[in-house]
Amino acid sequence: MHTDSGPTTPAAGIPTQIVIFGASGDLAARKLIPAIADNARFAAFRGPVQVIGVARTPMNSQQWRDELARSLTPAQAQVWPDLAPNLHYVPIGDSSLADYARLHETLDDLAGPLAGDVGRLFYLALKPSLFVPTVEALAAEGMLACDSLRLEGWRRVVVEKPFGTDLATAQWLNIVLRRHLREDQIYRIDHYLGKETVQNILAFRFENSIFEPIWSRQHIESVEINVCESLGMEAGRGAYYDTAGALRDMMANHMMQLMCLVAMEPPASLDAEAVRDEKVKVLRALEPFRDAHDVWTNSVRAQYARSPGETEAGYLQEQGVPLQSQTETFVAIRARVHNWRWAGVPFLLRTGKRLGKRFSSIVIRFRAPPADLFSGPAASQMARLRPNELVFRIQPEEGIRIGFQVKQPGPGHVMRTAALGFDYKDLFDGETPPPYQRLLLDAMHGNATLFIRGDEAEAAWKFADSIRSGWSAPGAPTPWTYEIGSMGPTQANALWHPHEGGWSQE
Ligand code: NDP
Ligand code: BG6
């Protein structure tokens, strides 16, 4: 594998071991191993890397490598002959302590005489109910202990989202993690934070001085956050998804994080604690819903349904989904951040599966000018002034656009929306790196800025739980339905009232 000798390298030649629990799963094959291959391709690792896959499926290392090779792009496949020999598979059996002792021995054997110095990243690509038992077993086998004063021999744990299923389970997970690890050893991953376009929100806000003076309730009418997906329950995800739903799967993590980046105060530095201190303040400032009725007025949940005459499966026909399921595949929420900067500004959040268009974006709508000169009686053709918009286009289009009004040539005052834009693909060569590539490196280098701290996870769950309890209160409306290929239920439009605007299409 490629190496370099950057100034922060603890000691050249000492390997890092990435231990992936859930090695036979989808995440490992589709995201983690390709990210490792890309990091190898770009010589991004600071030393040799060994990857140890752990799961129950009986197979040997060669079978695992062969399986993984299928997910690689042609570019990644080029480094595979060098990379593959560093991949090893360890079947975990029934996850007994003896299995963990065997795993420990294998890791030490692979490290050889440097066993005391290798850094170990335990990546839990598992379902949430397995996080606690896995951490307990690793701790019981003495695999998490390390000396915080040494650069070498570090131990870190990456936990995948969702971090529990509600506030109580998130708190329990945090208790167990903190029982065995310091917070600086814990990396709760939210891959949205690794997207270049998402990182650019902070860069845009805090590296440009022109927007900060107008970044508040005085000038901003609304903030809209969309993560719209055209995919549904691919790869047999129905059974898992039905235990989660859009609120837990997307809202409590990716969407809340995007909201934090828009709403947070400038941090004193990009240090992990400084950034996370500011993000958690936003989550804590979320105004609680007064009662169940307040939840019903400020949220809309829905399921995609088979359209009349169509054969495509609606949510209830998906494999693994119970026929009576009320799990939401779409959720829209009007949230309120109750602090000096944002009081009164609605944060409109929308996410859903099987929608007509796949896009993620953040739309900041600025207030309309106080005097509407162009729509008075003097105007021969009235044009209602639309507020200015700043759009962060997160995916699949990647860029930033500012919309403003211009007068259309000709008599009268007909206004048109024009745009100034920046497009990643025009300004930068090549594709933006996928999030796991960056986040894996950050975890290996001990940089937790783009990871979620325990108190953030809990604050996000507290908000999500308050919505869920409103949905399960007596008299709560059942989920609406929406057609596959639509942009969700029309009932979601009511969340805009009485503010300017409506759900955006980009
Ligand atoms: P999969 O169901 O595809 O894989 C789960 C893995 O867990 C398998 O390797 C399975 O292997 C292993 N496993 C199951 N039970 C046990 C057990 N008792 N002990 C040890 N290993 C076990 O899930 P994904 O890979 O899709 O997701 C994993 C995690 O990543 C989840 O938390 C998910 O929410 C999160 N995530 C996934 C994303 C994705 O794109 N897939 C994106 C973002 C987050 P075996 O049966 O061989 O033991
Ligand atoms: C995952 C969710 O965290 O994010 C999936 O579990 C969702 O349901 C995915 O499809 C979306 O990620 P991306 O990067 O494709 O927008």
Question: What tens digit of pLDDT does each residue of 257-284 get?
Answer: 999 999 999 999 999 999 999 999 999 9
DSSP letter string, 53-70: EEESS---HHHHHHHHHT
302: enclosing H helix or E strand: strand 299-305
Per-residue pLDDT tens over the stretch 409-446 = 988 878 888 999 999 988 887 778 899 999 999 999 99
Within the chain, all domains assigned CATH 3.30.360.10 are found at 193-432+459-491
Tell me: the pLDDT tens digits for 215-245?
A: 999 999 999 999 999 999 987 789 989 999 9
215 CA to middle of ligand 1, Å?
40
Which CATH number describes the domain made up of 193-432+459-491? 3.30.360.10
SS3 assignment, position 229: coil
DSSP for residue 12: T
Is the pLDDT confidence value at 367 over 50?
yes
What pTM does this model have?
A: 0.93
Ligand 2 binding site (Cβ under 6 Å of any ligand atom): 161, 229, 249
Query: Each residue of 446-504: pLDDT tens digit?
Result: 999 999 999 999 999 999 999 999 999 999 999 999 999 999 999 999 999 988 779 99
Q: Is the CB of 59 under 6 A from ligand 1?
A: no
Q: Are strands 415-423 and 186-188 parallel, antiparallel or unpaired?
A: unpaired
Instruction: Answer yes or no: is pLDDT of 289 > 70.
Output: yes
Q: Which ligand is nearest to the CA of 130?
A: 1
The closest of 446, 222, 237, 250 to 335, measured between CA atoms, is 222
Residue 217 near residue 180, CB atoms below 8 Å: no
**Closest alpha carbon to 437 in 73, 88, 153:** 73
- Portions of the chain given CATH number 3.40.50.720: 16-160
Give yes or no for residue 435 CB within 6 A of ligand 1: no
Nearest CA to ligand 2 atom 15: 229
Nearest to 333 by CA among 481, 492, 166: 492
Which residue from 31, 33, 54, 56 has its CB within 8 A of the most atoms of ligand 1, so it is best to mutate? 56
Fold of 16-160: Rossmann fold (3.40.50)
In this structure, the residue with its CA closest to atom 2 of ligand 2 is: 249
Mean predicted lDDT score pLDDT of the chain: 92
In degrees, to the nearest 5, what angle opens at C-alpha 417 toward C-alphas 416 and 422?
150
> Which amino acids are annotated catalytic?
254
Helices (H) and strands (E) in the chain, counts: 15, 15
Q: What is the pLDDT of residue 382?
A: 41
Residue 237: predicted pLDDT: 86
The model's confidence at residue 4, banded by pLDDT at 50, 70 and 90, is: very low
pLDDT of residue 414: 81
SS3 content of the chain, % helix, strand, coil (to 5): 40, 20, 40
pLDDT band at 385 (very low <50, low <70, confident <90, very high): low
Instruction: Find all residues with CB under 8 Å of 414, minimum gap 6, and list them.
Output: 381, 383, 407, 408
Per the document, the length of the chain is: 506
Nearest ligand 2 atom to the CA of 195 is 14
